[in-house]
Amino acid sequence: MATRIETLDGEDYEVRSVTGSAATSSYRCPGCNQLIRPATPHIVAWPVVPSLLTSFSGTGVDERRHWHTACWQRRRTG
């Protein structure tokens, strides 16, 4: 999976697209608070620069979130 950099609310995020075949767990989308069910293509995003409060590894991966693709796009352009 290729990672790209996208900006949301003035902050840079590392973003990956997850295919339906690679999505094997359920996640709660922070954009709509609904479940992303297994086998649903979606986006995983985390900040390039981690927040000081939540980062234990020194990377933003601790803050990664799974988003419905439409919710991520709506938030980016909203």
H-type helices in the chain, by residue range?
69-77
Per-residue pLDDT tens over the stretch 3-59: 999 988 888 999 999 999 999 999 999 999 999 999 999 999 998 887 765 545 555
What is the model's pTM? Answer: 0.81
Distance CA 20, CA 8 (A): 24
* Per-residue pLDDT at 28: 96
Distance CA 52, CA 61 (A): 13
* Per-residue pLDDT at 72: 94
Q: Where do the structural domains in the chain lie, given as residue ranges?
A: 3-77
Q: What are phi and psi of 47, to 5 degrees?
A: -65, 140
Quickly state the pLDDT bin for 71 (edges 50, 70, 90): very high
Distance CA 75, CA 55 (A): 23
* Per-residue pLDDT at 37: 96
Lookup result for tokens 């297994």: 38
State the amino acid at position 35 in one-letter form.
L
